[in-house]
Amino acid sequence: MPKAPSADADGGEPQPVAGGGLLHRRALLHRGLVLASATAAGTAAAQTGTDTGESRPPWMRTPGQPFTSYGQPSKHEAALMRTIAGNRLLPGNGVSWTPLEDLEGMITPSGLHFERHHNGVPQIDPKQHRLLIHGLVKQPLQFAVADLERYPMRSHLGFIECGGNSNAGWHPEPIQRSVGGFHGLVSCNEWTGVPVSVLLNEAGLDPKAAWAIAEGGDAFAMNVSLPLAKLMDDALVALYQNGEPIRPEHGYPLRLVVPGWEGVLNVKWLRRLHLSAEPVMARNETAKYTELQPDGHARQFTFVMEAKSLITSPSPGLRMHGPNVYEIRGLAWSGHGRIRKVEVSVDGSSSWATAALQDPVLPRCFTRFRAAWRWDGKPAVLKSRATDETGYVQPEREMLVQERGLNGYFHYNAIVAWAVDAEGALTHVYA
Ligand SMILES: Nc1nc2c(c(=O)[nH]1)N[C@H]1C(S)=C(S)[C@@H](COP(=O)(O)O)O[C@H]1N2
Ligand SMILES: [Mo]
């Protein structure tokens, strides 16, 4: 087999593949590369495993805790939590952010999935809850949750992202927050339920039906219009989140899941699908989730979340610990399908190296990327750039602002830059 010249399998020095010390994406798998953070094992008994009795740590000297009926995180991880930004007068209206910088892999734990509620979390009795399908159908139908349980199900492993996620990126000055506090209105879960197409086919579609108005069973009775073609393609009436019944804050007992499309369309506590010929022009598709562009026209029905990526580590709030080899870690996703490529730059876009994509790479789903970086201790500017399977490339901020102006509020997906100073501190910059 030909040897990759830049990632020497024999333990030689991995060679840079881009400016600033970015190494080949396979470099981290090779011997030659010492991350030098473990303490060298000495000869003390604990380090050789021959310690006994009092010399062992306390948790090895008494029996452990008994079983728990529902597991909880370690008490040492009590700081791992969502950041809440509720409305003072109406605490049920607001958001909570996922701490993206503290998580690994591609799945967001259910308890850390971001939240966006317009009027709080309804406490729904699943026995009383119904889903009504009506309007331009041959036969209106009503489903109890137990009825839906009997239909064939399917899972979608995918992200839900609020259309307003990352909107601080439109600020004239770069805001300084953690990755989660800036971009954490996106999370990735396994959603399982009944394909909407199965239920609509059972009701029988009137040929005039082109839209469905989905309504939630919260005190806001939030509603949105969805093109019928998307619902028939891959939308789900989800009952399960990460394998268990959906958490109350994410739509218990039923939620619409619309893969890759704006968060607001994923109606929680779903109670109605009203088939119609036209959209309903609800508040969340007219007053909100639309935006004025430089040419004076408003963008409306911007359903798909475009490709985006972020470096979650290192990132603002975290620190570099001296010159060394680091694994740059991040997340990429696209509402159009699979992520094809993520590139990383540590010299502010002068040069780019291709990051490794961790399997599985699924459509409309978080994709974890990793790149090896030998930091020499000098100031650097870190960026990541995603390309999806349609060939769409995540734009630099300047390009996005040129195209959309600064009246924007939604759909901010520009390349994000972190500056590293000589002390190893990170800040958000426009570069
Ligand atoms: N019924 C109902 N559905 C809703 C909302 C709501 O307030 N009520 N918020 C929407 C918005 S704007 C978003 S971004 C997502 C958030 O989903 P999550 O709270 O599960 O993350 O739910 C959407 N579905
Ligand atoms: Mo949203």
Separation of 138 CA from ligand 1 center, angstroms? Answer: 30
Do the Cβ atoms of 372 and 14 come closer than 8 Å? Answer: yes
Q: Which helix (H) or strand (E) holds 182?
A: helix 179-183
Which residue's CA is minimally distant from atom 18 of ligand 1? 115
In this prediction, residue 33 carries a pLDDT of 61
For residue 336, which of 234, 213, 191, 207 has the smallest C-alpha distance? 234
| Cα distance between residue 172 and residue 166, in whole Å | 14
Decide whether any atom of ligand 1 lies within 6 Å of the 222 Cβ: yes
In the chain, what are the domain boundaries? 130-289, 308-429
Model pLDDT for residues 87-139, shown as the tens digit of each residue: 888 999 999 999 999 999 999 999 999 999 999 999 999 999 999 999 999 99
- Please enumerate in sequence order all residues whose Cβ is within 8 A of that of 281, keeping only pairs 6 or more positions apart, or say none: 225
Give the rounded percent of residues in the chain with a pLDDT score beyond 70.
93
In this prediction, residue 4 carries a pLDDT of 43
Decide whether any atom of ligand 1 lies within 6 Å of the 404 Cβ: no
CATH no. for 308-429: 2.60.40.650
CA of residue 287 relative to chain centroid, distance: 26
Q: Which of 87, 240, 266, 273 to mutate to test the pocket of ligand 1 (most atoms within 8 A of CB)?
A: 266
Three-state secondary structure call for residue 222: coil
In this prediction, residue 289 carries a pLDDT of 79
Q: Which atom of ligand 1 is nearest to the CA of 216?
A: 1
In this prediction, residue 141 carries a pLDDT of 98
Model pLDDT for residues 313-365, shown as the tens digit of each residue: 999 998 899 999 999 999 999 999 999 999 999 999 999 999 999 999 999 99
Q: Which atom of ligand 1 is nearest to the CA of 218?
A: 1
Do the Cβ atoms of 131 and 148 come closer than 8 Å? Answer: yes
In this prediction, residue 5 carries a pLDDT of 42
In this prediction, residue 397 carries a pLDDT of 97
Measured from the alpha carbon of residue 411, the closest ligand is 2
Which residue's CA is minimally distant from atom 23 of ligand 1? 264
Separation of 429 CA from ligand 2 center, angstroms? Answer: 25
Separation of 320 CA from ligand 1 center, angstroms? Answer: 36
β-pair type (270-276, 130-135): parallel
Three-state secondary structure call for residue 71: coil
Confidence (pTM) = 0.94
CB-neighbour burial class of residue 107 (10 A; exposed 0-12, middle 13-18, buried 19+): middle
Separation of 412 CA from ligand 2 center, angstroms? Answer: 13
Which residue's CA is minimally distant from atom 2 of ligand 1? 268
Q: Which atom of ligand 1 is nearest to the CA of 251?
A: 20
DSSP assignment, residue 145? H
CA angle 33, 37, 40 (to 5 degrees): 100
Separation of 189 CA from ligand 2 center, angstroms? Answer: 16
Per-residue pLDDT of the chain (431 residues; tens, 9 = 90+): 444 444 444 456 778 999 999 998 778 766 556 565 666 666 666 667 778 888 899 999 999 999 999 999 999 999 999 999 988 889 999 999 999 999 999 999 999 999 999 999 999 999 999 999 999 999 999 999 999 999 999 999 999 999 999 999 999 999 999 999 999 999 999 999 999 999 999 999 999 999 999 999 999 999 999 999 999 999 999 999 999 999 999 999 999 999 999 999 999 999 999 999 999 888 888 888 787 888 888 888 889 999 999 999 999 998 899 999 999 999 999 999 999 999 999 999 999 999 999 999 999 999 999 999 999 999 999 999 999 999 999 999 999 999 988 877 899 999 999 999 999 999 999 99
Decide whether any atom of ligand 1 lies within 6 Å of the 218 Cβ: yes
In this prediction, residue 284 carries a pLDDT of 82
Decide whether any atom of ligand 1 lies within 6 Å of the 264 Cβ: yes
Decide whether any atom of ligand 1 lies within 6 Å of the 115 Cβ: yes
- Please enumerate in sequence order all residues whose Cβ is within 8 A of that of 104, keeping only pairs 6 or more positions apart, or say none: 329, 368
Separation of 114 CA from ligand 1 center, angstroms? Answer: 10
Separation of 81 CA from ligand 1 center, angstroms? Answer: 19
In this prediction, residue 280 carries a pLDDT of 84
Fold adopted by 130-289: Sulfite Oxidase; Chain A, domain 2 (3.90.420)
Which residue's CA is minimally distant from atom 1 of ligand 1? 216
Separation of 386 CA from ligand 1 center, angstroms? Answer: 26
Q: Which atom of ligand 1 is nearest to the CA of 269?
A: 1
Length of the chain: 431
In this prediction, residue 7 carries a pLDDT of 42
